[in-house]
Structure 1
């Protein structure tokens, strides 16, 4: 219950994670041992990496949040899981999980994370 994921029988009954039945504000749930909050659940997060069937370390990255390239077959990588993830529906909601999503999609369970290099 340390993330905003589906609690109950999907898709008929959502008991809510700490009272949330959709997206929750950032930081609602406590950070992990590394001090990182919201690494799984709440919303899948867009990455700058184009999706491929196998993870390719060092793969070329696109600019952050690129506009659709006109080809709906171009997929970006999503990571992390969302408030719609339940064992009956979504088996890969963890920080290392990767999932394809077309660039021209927007839904209530897809978001992004701002990252700062120091």
Structure 2
């Protein structure tokens, strides 16, 4: 800021400071409105869903775990098949756990294997 020597210079300096202040107040109001909108529960939920759906790594992980759980469940259903045999139920539970972990930890390998089987079955000759 320059040196103020006259009353006219003082009035100009005051006007400049008042203009800066009103601009800063308006900027703060705008920022407050943006912050208020972003903290609404609906907007928080919408932003979270957008982040989840835009993350390919997270989607791959969710799909891998889901595929693992479903495969484990169906493996147990096939092995146990409504039996009341304790040994068969135990084997079914162990197989369910093993298949679930195997598929959930190796989704890319399972995906590649599935794609190769799909291509062999539906390969155009």
- What range is the shorter-chain TM-score in? under 0.3
Q: TM-score of the superposition, structure 1-length normalised?
A: 0.22
Larger relative contact order, structure 1 or 2 (CA cutoff 8 Å, min sep 6):
1
Rg larger in structure? 2
